[in-house]
Amino acid sequence: MQTPLDSTPTLRRSLSLPFHNLQTSGDAELAARLGEALTVPGLPERVPVEERPLLEAALGPHLFHSYAGRTHPLLVRRLCNEMEPGQTLLDPFVGSGTVLVEGARLGLRTIGCDVSPLSIRLSRLKATLLPKGMQQVLLEQAQAVCEASLLRVKKRLSPPRNYDQPQFYAPHVYLELCGLRQEISTVCAKDAPIGEALLMVFSAIVVKASNQRSESSAETVQRHIGKGMVSRWLLRKTEEFLRFQSGGFWQPDIKRHPPLLILGDARSALHPSAGCKLASGSVDRVITSPPYLGTYDYLSHHLRRYAWLGIDPSPIERDEMAARRHHQPLLRRRQLHEADTWNWLSAVERLLKVGSLCFVLVGDSVLEESLIDGAEPIRVAAESSRFRVVAEASVERPHVVRTERPLPPRREHLLALQRTS
Ligand SMILES: C[S@@+](CC[C@H](N)C(=O)[O-])C[C@H]1O[C@@H](n2cnc3c(N)ncnc32)[C@H](O)[C@@H]1O
């Protein structure tokens, strides 16, 4: 399929994937498929208006809500496009739901797990095609919330200030956000699913409304946000989300299954001992990208959002794996990371059918000025569990961290593991 993604040289940062030097090993056919997945073209930074419908039809809900560290949707598509409707696809580190959205598009049964309630809620919304009637109600409610908020701004009425901390926003923006949030709470009380969709739309605009440069940067910036602007953003974002629901992304005449989302630590939450009811051997494929060692801090990325959504960050603080903020000595961190990798992989092993594939996307990290191979813990864990690494591909990606001394190229690896008997 030729999309605007295939032609343009300017790339949006979060989903741009410049690559060099593809290397493959193992089963030739599978390795070629991994290589094709790793070398998908990046997303254009700007898309001409006339090409937007084409982009929206190709990517739909993937374009809703930023989430640092997300996987390129077309990479995932290349790893599952031959699956049959009704088969089961699992992502134990579901993040913003990329894998679930792709699975839902094909009519697969999808299961996602994540330690972050935001990830669970966002993935559920993105991977669900709402009935037409509900789409209409969502639009009407967003219009009503926006109107009520604009009226409050015009009359200079002060809403209760119950959320986040004002210093992260311009004073008038903070008040307007509090008002919007209060209006959405009223919707939640009357119609919980519609209120939840509006909360995710709110989550999609709140970092841009703050003085934080981006979700992955704590740097502050001065933005010039006029009165009434964030209310209009909320309405515009809702309209955009609804376009992703009704555009050509969702193939018609496919039976759809609601996604199953499990909030918890992938190292334990998928075990029967934690109350997980999923049967052994019930999953046909796993596609996942676990956190790269010491690269991101998903907790701090979403602190603004958690504060507005009423999410308690402490379980995430406790259970997030491989986070950048962890400060043990390097050797200890690597040992812990190996143990974590074995733990989540063995939970997945129980669920995957014998002979089926588990695709893992993982990147090298830079810690204490050393380059750490991201794929090695997966290979080691696979060896001591019922998995066999059948193929690998990797490409060079730009370094994300600046270092004093030059380091070898950082690589991103895609591994195909087969569940053995
Ligand atoms: C690389 S991101 C996944 C991105 C995802 N593929 C997407 O496209 O949005 C890794 C995810 O792992 C989650 N995570 C970190 N530690 C976890 C744990 N112990 N159990 C489950 N999820 C965890 C983070 O919250 C984050 O959402």
pLDDT of 10 strictly over 60: no
What distance lies between CA 238 and its chain's CA centroid? Answer: 19
Domain residue ranges in the chain: 4-117+259-297+313-419, 132-246
Å from CA of 364 to ligand 1 middle: 16
CA-closest candidate to residue 291, choices 326, 249, 247: 326
pTM above 0.85, yes or no: yes
User: Do 60 and 98 form a contact (C-beta atoms < 8 A)?
Assistant: no
φ/ψ bin of 121: left (φ > 0), alpha (ψ from -120 to 50), beta (otherwise) = alpha
Average pLDDT over residues 308-317: 96
With a 6 Å cutoff on the Cβ, whether 341 touches ligand 1 is no
Distance separating alpha carbons of residues 341 and 337, to the nearest angstrom: 6
Residue 405 is predicted with a pLDDT of 78
Residue 386 is predicted with a pLDDT of 96
User: Do 34 and 19 form a contact (C-beta atoms < 8 A)?
Assistant: no
With a 6 Å cutoff on the Cβ, whether 347 touches ligand 1 is no
Mean pLDDT of the chain: 92
pLDDT, tens digit, 9 for 90 and up, residues 173-221: 999 999 999 999 999 999 999 999 999 999 999 999 999 998 888 888 9
With a 6 Å cutoff on the Cβ, whether 298 touches ligand 1 is yes
Average pLDDT over residues 333-340: 95
Residue 9 is predicted with a pLDDT of 31
Å from CA of 129 to ligand 1 middle: 23
| HSE-CB for 140 with a 13 A CA cutoff | 7
Hey, is 226 helix, strand or coil?
Answer: coil
Where b means 16+ CB within 10 Å and e means fewer, 358-370 reads bbbbbbbbbeeee
Å from CA of 95 to ligand 1 middle: 5
Residue 48 is predicted with a pLDDT of 86
With a 6 Å cutoff on the Cβ, whether 98 touches ligand 1 is yes
With a 6 Å cutoff on the Cβ, whether 95 touches ligand 1 is yes
Residue 252 is predicted with a pLDDT of 86
Å from CA of 321 to ligand 1 middle: 8
With a 6 Å cutoff on the Cβ, whether 289 touches ligand 1 is yes
Lowest mean pLDDT among 18-27, 73-82, 109-118: 18-27
Distance separating alpha carbons of residues 370 and 155, to the nearest angstrom: 58
The residues near 20 (Cβ < 8 Å, ≥ 6 apart) are 395, 396, 409
Q: What is the CATH number of domain 4-117+259-297+313-419?
A: 3.40.50.150
Longest Cα–Cα distance of the chain, Å, equals 69
Where b means 16+ CB within 10 Å and e means fewer, 309-332 reads bebebeebeebbbbbbeeeeeeee
pLDDT of 3 strictly over 50: no
Å from CA of 313 to ligand 1 middle: 15
pLDDT of 401 strictly over 90: no
pLDDT of 17 strictly over 60: no
The residues near 26 (Cβ < 8 Å, ≥ 6 apart) are 389, 390, 391, 392, 416
In 280-375, DSSP assigns E strands to 283-288, 352-363, 365-367, 370-372
CA-to-CA dists, residue 407 to 40, 292, 372, 414, angstroms: 25, 18, 11, 21
Which pLDDT band, with edges at 50, 70 and 90, does 5 fall under? very low
Q: DSSP secondary-structure letter at 293?
A: T
Distance separating alpha carbons of residues 205 and 238, to the nearest angstrom: 10
Å from CA of 25 to ligand 1 middle: 27
Residue 19 is predicted with a pLDDT of 64
pLDDT of 4 strictly over 90: no
Å from CA of 93 to ligand 1 middle: 4
Residue 14 is predicted with a pLDDT of 44
Average pLDDT over residues 140-167: 94
Average pLDDT over residues 234-243: 97
pLDDT, tens digit, 9 for 90 and up, residues 84-141: 999 999 999 999 999 999 999 999 999 999 999 999 999 999 999 999 999 999 999 9
With a 6 Å cutoff on the Cβ, whether 109 touches ligand 1 is no
pLDDT of 231 strictly over 50: yes
To the nearest 10°, the Cα dihedral for 42, 45, 51, 57? Answer: 50
With a 6 Å cutoff on the Cβ, whether 387 touches ligand 1 is no
Q: HEC profile for 66-130?
A: CCCCCCCHHHHHHHHCCCCCCCEEEECCCCCCHHHHHHHHCCCEEEEEECCHHHHHHHHHHCCCC
Ligand 1 probe mutation, 265, 295, 298, 324, most atoms within 8 A of CB: 298
With a 6 Å cutoff on the Cβ, whether 300 touches ligand 1 is no
384: phi then psi, degrees, rounded to nearest 5: -100, 20
Lowest mean pLDDT among 76-90, 281-295, 400-414: 400-414
Residue 281 is predicted with a pLDDT of 97
Å from CA of 58 to ligand 1 middle: 24
Question: What pairing do the DSSP bridges indicate for beta strands 217-220 and 260-263?
Answer: unpaired
pLDDT of 12 strictly over 70: no
Which pLDDT band, with edges at 50, 70 and 90, does 415 fall under? very high
CA-to-CA dists, residue 213 to 16, 217, 353, angstroms: 19, 6, 44
With a 6 Å cutoff on the Cβ, whether 319 touches ligand 1 is yes
Residue 18 is predicted with a pLDDT of 60
Residue nearest to atom 22 of ligand 1 (CA): 114
Average pLDDT over residues 262-289: 96
CA-closest candidate to residue 66, choices 239, 236, 207, 248: 207
